[in-house]
Amino acid sequence: VNGIEFSKNATTKSAPSDLRSLFGSNAQFTINQRSETRSNNDETIVELYIPKEIEITFPFVGSDKMLPLCYYDGLHLKWNEDFNNSNGVIVILEWIGELLAGNDVPSTHIRRTMIAGDTGSIVIPNDLFEEIPDTAVCHLTLIRGNIETLSIDGISYKIQAESHDFLTFVLINEIKHV
């Protein structure tokens, strides 16, 4: 990637600082096909836009790490937009049975996904919250990335780059006026 070499067994859980600079830019990925039967090494170069790192900016979680209470109807989600990302962002909402008030519901897993334009904000559709009760502890993941799939000499390659941000919040769907 832009001259930084990786072996086929390389995995990274967090990007080193020299790779972080690739977010928000076009990068050149070079695939070297070293053949034991050929005297030359073939290279394939693919240019791929690596979208900016994504960061959820609202609902805001302060330094006290208290979970925000979020009313489901009209829940507004904001992040740092990337005008150059034409792929949009993936929104994943999950509830695994945990409740802030009341008894947890073991062996429960609800996952809902949607794709939104990378505009920096959306109102999450109410149907994503169907069957998730009041005071449920929900987990939201926002993903932005790009992928290129190609085939060279019968071998399939996937070149991908992604970033994600995660938010845990308490879902409120019943408000009682006193």
Q: What is the mean pLDDT of the chain?
A: 89
More confident residue, 161 or 178: 161
Q: What is the mean pLDDT of residues 106-131?
A: 97
Cis peptide before 59 (omega within 30 of 0): yes
What letters, b where the CB count within 10 A reaches 16 and e where it falls short, cover 69-104?
Answer: ebebeebebebebbeebebebbbbbebbebbeeeee
Task: Confirm if 104 and 153 have CB atoms less than 8 A apart.
Answer: no
Using CB atoms within 10 Å of the CB of residue 161, give its burial: 0 to 12 exposed, 13 to 18 middle, 19+ buried.
buried
Stretch among 17-26, 55-64, 95-104, 153-162 having the lowest mean pLDDT: 17-26
Q: What angle do CA 159, 160, 165 make, to 5 degrees?
A: 170
On the question of pLDDT at 10 being above 70, the answer is no
The contacts of residue 145 (CB under 8 Å, 6+ apart) are 51, 87, 160, 161, 162, 163
Question: pTM score, two decimals?
Answer: 0.84
Q: What is the mean pLDDT of residues 88-111?
A: 96
On the question of pLDDT at 14 being above 60, the answer is no
pLDDT per residue as tens digits for the range 31-61:
876 655 555 567 888 999 999 999 999 998 8
What letters, b where the CB count within 10 A reaches 16 and e where it falls short, cover 122-142?
Answer: bebeeebbeebbeebbbebbb
Q: What does the alpha-carbon distance between residue 95 and residue 140 come to, in Å, rounded to a whole number?
A: 9
pLDDT at 59: 93
